[in-house]
Amino acid sequence: MSQLHHDRPVDENEAAPHTVPTQRTGDARPSGTTPEEPRLTEIADLADLTWQAEATARAGIEGVTPPSPSPAVTGGRRSRRRRSRGIPLPTRRPAAYLAAALVGASGMGLLAAGDRAVAEETDVVESSSVSVAEELGLDVGSPAAMPEPDAAARLGELTASRAAREAEQAAAAQAQAEADRLAAEAIAEAARPDAVLPVDGARLTSGFGARWGRAHAGIDLAAPMRTPEKAAMDGVVLEAGPASGYGLAVFVQHGNGDVTAYGHMDEILVSAGQVVRAGDTIALLGNRGQSTGPHLHFEVRLGGLGGQKVDPVPYLRERGVQI
């Protein structure tokens, strides 16, 4: 056997190793050692919670029993084995108490502070809402029920107001439509010519002057039977009916006092006193009276019905009508 395993006498002056008794699972707890673990109680105040944590930590530290010195054992292997085991660390339960208490205190403090902040913010919002409503003159209380007669009266007022608005809108729409119509008429009036050829597509067959030994006081415009005949310019119908030599005749006086005459028509479509405009149909072309075929006999008389008869061709050309 090696020399290392020989028993060595223990020196009396050599200090015996101090050991701290430990407790394994299943061992009986010796009486009078560690007191019962204190319980953490619910604490609402942060200062009170800190004080409780310190008290718990002190109680845990004071409850630890200091290790008792173990007697020196002489004799060989057992003493060497006892010394080689080392000194077990003391329990850390008091420190765990302190850490748990401090963590719990901090958490509960933060929760309490958060709850107070939320409550204060809610109070501020509610007070702000109330103050704004009061400044606007609104009733922040619960609305009172409106009596039935008042509700019916209010409903009648709303109905009458709506009917009035609808009537106003209808009147405005009608006025707008009338304005649009007048505007369209004005545009058409501005675009309407001052003078027109009495028969569209007619052919000049006889001019103004002497003809067959007698004066021909107008021009003849030939066209098919019942071709529309138009007023040469704006005016008022002076006469409309039978006339000697003309068969049927129409006489229109214009704004400058001049008169235009239309003869030999097959049918008259206007009457005396009627207002006509340039281009309005006044009769249908015919072959009545002293006529050799369907045509319009057209005359211009200056200043009135008995005024001087002039050549219609230059008269119409001066007003933009080409024959």
Digit-coded pLDDT (tens) for 161-176: 999 999 999 999 999 9
Q: Are residues 122 and 178 in the same domain?
A: no
CA distance 30 to 131: 69
Q: Are residues 223 and 173 in the same domain?
A: no
| Residue 166 within a domain | yes
Residue 29, classed as helix, strand or coil, is coil
Tell me, what's the pLDDT at 71? 47
| Residue 27 within a domain | no
Beta pairing, strands 219-222 & 295-302 = antiparallel
Tell me, what's the pLDDT at 217? 93
Residues 6+ apart with CB under 8 A from 199: 221, 223, 227, 228, 229, 230, 285, 296
Residue 178 DSSP one-character state = H
Q: Are residues 60 and 93 in the same domain?
A: yes
CA distance 279 to 233: 7
Q: Which domain holds residue 176?
A: 148-191
Which residues of 156-234 form beta strands (DSSP E)?
Answer: 203-206, 209-211, 214-216, 219-222, 228-230
Tell me, what's the pLDDT at 73? 44
Residues facing residue 216 across a β-bridge? 209
Per the structure, the count of domains in the chain is 3
Whether residue 69 is predicted with pLDDT greater than 70 in this model: the reply is: no
- Residue 214 banded pLDDT, cuts 50, 70, 90: confident
Whether residue 99 is predicted with pLDDT greater than 80 in this model: the reply is: no
Residue with tokens 């718990």: 56
Q: Nearest Cα to 4, choosing from 76, 83, 87, 85?
A: 76
Tell me, what's the pLDDT at 20? 44
- The percentage of residues in the chain with a pLDDT greater than 90, rounded to a whole number, is 45
Domain end (from 136, 156, 177)? 136
| DSSP track, 89-148 | PPP-HHHHHHHHHHHHHHHHHHHHHHHHHHHHHHHHHHHHHHHHHHHTT---SPPPPPPH
Digit-coded pLDDT (tens) for 16-58: 444 444 444 444 454 444 445 545 445 455 666 667 777 766 6
Which residues of the chain form beta strands (DSSP E)?
Answer: 203-206, 209-211, 214-216, 219-222, 228-230, 235-243, 247-254, 259-263, 267-268, 275-276, 281-284, 295-302, 308-310
Tell me, what's the pLDDT at 232? 97
Q: Are residues 269 and 223 in the same domain?
A: yes
Q: Are residues 185 and 113 in the same domain?
A: no
Q: Are residues 240 and 304 in the same domain?
A: yes
Tell me, what's the pLDDT at 155? 86
Q: Average the pLDDT over each of 101-105, 155-159, 181-185 and give the range with the smallest value.
A: 101-105
| Residue 77 within a domain | yes
Residue with tokens 């009508």: 321
| Residue 307 within a domain | yes
Cα dist from 205 to 39, 197, 297, 321, whole Å: 136, 15, 10, 17
Residue with tokens 């008869």: 309
Q: Are residues 91 and 167 in the same domain?
A: no
Q: Are residues 228 and 307 in the same domain?
A: yes
CA distance 10 to 74: 6
Residues 6+ apart with CB under 8 A from 76: 6, 7, 8
Angle (CA) 66 70 71, round 5°: 150
CA distance 25 to 166: 95
pTM score above 0.75: no
CA distance 167 to 46: 74
Tell me, what's the pLDDT at 238? 97
CA distance 234 to 243: 23
Mean pLDDT of 62-69: 51
More confident residue, 57 or 242: 242
- Residue 156 banded pLDDT, cuts 50, 70, 90: confident
Whether residue 152 is predicted with pLDDT greater than 70 in this model: the reply is: yes
CA distance 249 to 288: 10
Kindly report the backbone phi and psi dihedral angles of residue 201, in degrees, each rounded to the nearest multiple of 5, phi listed first: 75, 15
- The percentage of residues in the chain with a pLDDT greater than 70, rounded to a whole number, is 56
Torsion 287-292-298-303 (CA) sign: negative
- Residue 252 banded pLDDT, cuts 50, 70, 90: very high
| Residue 196 within a domain | no
Tell me, what's the pLDDT at 112? 54
CA distance 251 to 282: 10
